[in-house]
Structure 1
């Protein structure tokens, strides 16, 4: 654990010239905004913005496999997550801190959302909220078992209070996020709470070979610039729609945001086939059912509003309101039968010794291995599809620990 002065970016002046007048309107209409303070810029600042070097105080914690960097001054965001065995950052990292026209306010020029990268806390209103660029408070709680960073926006009693705890356990390639929202007011207050991870999975910009892992079934379109897809607010199928496999970013055109209607499985994720880096979000569908995916699309031409290097990323949202096939707290699995062979990959969250089994047609063991696995060394294997096995046979993958406890049990049709 440590503090560092981080100079990750150049920063632009961060507030539109007419934002102060907009704030007065918000104060009259919604007590959620009563604590929001925006600086009015001069006409020259607003019309001809220019980046200047800016340093931020960074809080860094790490274990054997992950290094987490927080920027409390920039919305308390989790700015970096480096996978130490390869040195790759799972998050997008913008080279500039640049206000964009996206956000909850209308008209659009009143917004100043920062596509800075990392994981942001989108609270207390829709879209990205408005606390993404203001200083947050923090504390560090270290025990013999783990290290937890506690971030909070305010503990004033006259407003909603948001706190998020990020725990890094030892010897595991995972971190745990626990958000908490408290209403000390005497009246009910409408609020939205989302966690937004801005990701590229080991590259500066999103790779065409990125694959998105959402539950198959209906999704609701939040917004899109692709006229060949369902319109905003309409339902469409995932991942195949109009003959296109939208789980592959190479098949996208323009921007698209979708909500998963009823997530029955407890994970979503993504995998970058170019960098070999993937991520999974494990959650309770009952406690945090909100799942949203957003990406710009290769043909999106408005990148200059948030970046100076033409970079792109995708967003994996969660809220209350090789590729990944299945994941749980113990491991992430890739399993695909294609072209007369079976491709397998397994990444564990903590070291273990145990056994792997691949069972076909419910009872035929076609692979059985004793393994010693660590988070820094994913297991991969290819085996031929048995000639006498029907092409529609069910495949079952099992991971057992040294005491024969089932850590992962997944059943899949070819």
Structure 2
């Protein structure tokens, strides 16, 4: 009996140990990118996550940051106010703000998109006028003859997420930022084409290069105009966890270091509604290299994945130069056009357009901000950039009342407008890097919502001023949670000062009563001073008051 009892005790112990092991979860390894290409050593860097517009041009290599692939818990907006499809205006006085997570979430995932079978009809070639720069061209005749139809295909997707933003990146389709979802509204502010479909647009040379994928998001046009050569290429990537808990993705073309190459750093801090884009263009050659750089944002703010008639282009200039148009009531290509109003027609409003139009800020980019805002959707997107370095700014839309057929780029009727940012003022000019040179600069991008429009913006906030009939409506959208004082200097009255506690999910909105003698238009000054005493936002300019 004692021997049997001993056997039974051993069996019981083994069963208990097995149960305990089954109850303990097995850790899931963090996703690691399956990218076999190593980033060129001169491209890696540890970047400062704060917004900056200080450009540099250097021939010195930068240090290599050690990548990590830790996946942190997905953030949740934990404001006491529930995030809905419309933002909650913040009146004067304290309002609860969102609680930031400690780290930006990151994962390598995948997305399934209907994809046309272009891959079997492209071949690699080299462009001799650019030092045999590599690209792929499409055999259009054979492709069209095949009666191509889309089929489901999986694509890698890099996801970056904090309390306010969810960014997704397609590294194998041009390294583009495919989506930017503003979590307080739940809407993607970029256009995201639901199908991967070659168009008949793109670089004019060499023959067969014009099969651009109008896939949407924010793409990197290099080394020529009209979207460049890299929009369909697989880009390499690294990821770096930053000391403040933010995440940086380093995207890079695979032509380096033997050819000139591009690195684009995408930085998402843990507690802001903005993300940072830092391009680096490197020339490893012993001779100068001429190129063009035009990043292109395809935008459709709001829920519809297509622009509406109330979409407004935010271009702080008084003149543009027409690049191309089919609207014969507008100036011809290469000619100047007043902006925003041309011959009584407000061209900043998309609903006033007939056919397509592309136009550059003239004589060069200015104002250090540009964007779009759909007043019907009450959402938009802004780009803050150093116009003294990134001197090109361009808009494009397919038109409105007689617009281009969306079947040229998609299968569901969805659409977009474009904002291009370049190093030089127009498509005709070439930027030259010296032997061993590098040019880099920093831009801040962010969704904006709930304020009715944009009068001025910097990396800290966007401001909207609009007359109401009874007074002046001032709306202040901060890109992070803020506490401080907003001061408005208005003509004919004492400065109005408001205590503000606000965040991107709760913009501050105040209507200011104006004296009867207030003029229809006057100079307004707006300053936001943080509780620390630092002035983080300051603007002065003419505004409509009535």
Shorter-chain-normalised TM-score: which range? over 0.9
Residue 400 of structure 1 corresponds to: 529
- Asked whether the equivalents of residues 92 and 200 of structure 1 are also in contact (C-alpha less than 8 Å), the reply is yes
Residue 287 of structure 1 corresponds to: 389
Q: For residues 397 and 53 of structure 1, do their structure 2 counterparts lie closer, same or farther at Cα, with a shift above 3 Å needed?
A: same
Looking at structure 1, the residues matched to 475 and 481 of structure 2 have their Cα atoms a distance apart, in angstroms, of 16
Residue 275 of structure 2 corresponds to: 175
Look up the SS of the partner of 1:284 in the other structure: coil
- Asked whether the equivalents of residues 65 and 375 of structure 1 are also in contact (C-alpha less than 8 Å), the reply is yes
Question: How many angstroms does 1:279 deviate by?
Answer: 1.6
Residue 6 of structure 1 corresponds to: 111
Question: How many angstroms does 1:93 deviate by?
Answer: 0.7
Residue 187 of structure 1 corresponds to: 287
Looking at structure 2, the residues matched to 137 and 110 of structure 1 have their Cα atoms a distance apart, in angstroms, of 22
Looking at structure 2, the residues matched to 280 and 45 of structure 1 have their Cα atoms a distance apart, in angstroms, of 38
- Asked whether the equivalents of residues 16 and 40 of structure 1 are also in contact (C-alpha less than 8 Å), the reply is no
- Asked whether the equivalents of residues 196 and 213 of structure 2 are also in contact (C-alpha less than 8 Å), the reply is yes
Residue 168 of structure 2 corresponds to: 69
- Asked whether the equivalents of residues 16 and 112 of structure 1 are also in contact (C-alpha less than 8 Å), the reply is no
- Asked whether the equivalents of residues 101 and 108 of structure 1 are also in contact (C-alpha less than 8 Å), the reply is no
Looking at structure 2, the residues matched to 393 and 290 of structure 1 have their Cα atoms a distance apart, in angstroms, of 30
* Corresponding position: 1:302 with 2:382: no
1:221-241 CA distance string (max 9 Å, x none)? 111111111110111111010
Question: How many angstroms does 1:389 deviate by?
Answer: 2.1
Q: For residues 218 and 38 of structure 1, do their structure 2 counterparts lie closer, same or farther at Cα, with a shift above 3 Å needed?
A: closer
Residue 413 of structure 1 corresponds to: 543
- Asked whether the equivalents of residues 16 and 46 of structure 1 are also in contact (C-alpha less than 8 Å), the reply is no
Question: How many angstroms does 1:336 deviate by?
Answer: 1.9
* Corresponding position: 1:370 with 2:503: no
Question: How many angstroms does 1:258 deviate by?
Answer: 1.0
Structure exhibiting the larger radius of gyration computed from Cα positions = 2
Looking at structure 1, the residues matched to 461 and 192 of structure 2 have their Cα atoms a distance apart, in angstroms, of 27
Question: Normalising by structure 1, what TM-score?
Answer: 0.92
Pick from 33, 44, 55: which aligns with 2:154?
A: 55
- Asked whether the equivalents of residues 102 and 108 of structure 1 are also in contact (C-alpha less than 8 Å), the reply is no
* Corresponding position: 1:235 with 2:365: no
Question: How many angstroms does 1:394 deviate by?
Answer: 2.5
Q: Report 1:109-128 matches (<5 A).
A: 110-128=209-227
1:47-88 CA distance string (max 9 Å, x none)? 411111111111111111111111111111111111112211
Q: For residues 75 and 264 of structure 1, do their structure 2 counterparts lie closer, same or farther at Cα, with a shift above 3 Å needed?
A: closer
Q: For residues 241 and 75 of structure 1, do their structure 2 counterparts lie closer, same or farther at Cα, with a shift above 3 Å needed?
A: same
Pick from 209, 215, 219: which aligns with 2:316?
A: 215
Looking at structure 1, the residues matched to 418 and 161 of structure 2 have their Cα atoms a distance apart, in angstroms, of 24
Q: Report 1:8-407 matches (<5 A).
A: 9-14=113-118, 20=123, 27=127, 29-38=128-137, 43=142, 46-105=145-204, 110-145=209-244, 146-154=246-254, 156-202=256-302, 203-261=304-362, 262-298=364-400, 299-321=402-424, 322-337=452-467, 339-361=469-491, 364-365=494-495, 367-407=496-536
Segments of structure 2 that go 5 or more residues without pairing to the other structure are: 1-105, 425-451
Looking at structure 2, the residues matched to 237 and 16 of structure 1 have their Cα atoms a distance apart, in angstroms, of 46
1:185-238 CA distance string (max 9 Å, x none)? 233222011211111012310111111110131111111111111110111111
Question: How many angstroms does 1:265 deviate by?
Answer: 1.4
- Asked whether the equivalents of residues 314 and 372 of structure 2 are also in contact (C-alpha less than 8 Å), the reply is yes
Q: For residues 399 and 12 of structure 1, do their structure 2 counterparts lie closer, same or farther at Cα, with a shift above 3 Å needed?
A: same
Question: How many angstroms does 1:380 deviate by?
Answer: 2.0
- More strand per residue: 1
Question: Normalising by structure 2, what TM-score?
Answer: 0.71
Question: How many angstroms does 1:247 deviate by?
Answer: 1.0
- Asked whether the equivalents of residues 15 and 38 of structure 1 are also in contact (C-alpha less than 8 Å), the reply is no
Q: Which has the higher contact order (CA 8 A, sep 6+)?
A: 2
Look up the SS of the partner of 1:36 in the other structure: strand
- Asked whether the equivalents of residues 197 and 315 of structure 1 are also in contact (C-alpha less than 8 Å), the reply is yes
Look up the SS of the partner of 2:134 in the other structure: coil
The alignment yields a C-alpha RMSD, in angstroms, of 2.2
- Asked whether the equivalents of residues 72 and 135 of structure 1 are also in contact (C-alpha less than 8 Å), the reply is yes
Question: How many angstroms does 1:318 deviate by?
Answer: 1.2
Look up the SS of the partner of 2:289 in the other structure: coil
Look up the SS of the partner of 2:240 in the other structure: strand
Looking at structure 2, the residues matched to 249 and 49 of structure 1 have their Cα atoms a distance apart, in angstroms, of 33
Q: For residues 223 and 39 of structure 1, do their structure 2 counterparts lie closer, same or farther at Cα, with a shift above 3 Å needed?
A: closer
Q: How many residues align?
A: 407
Moved more, 222-231 or 101-110: 101-110
Looking at structure 2, the residues matched to 300 and 124 of structure 1 have their Cα atoms a distance apart, in angstroms, of 29
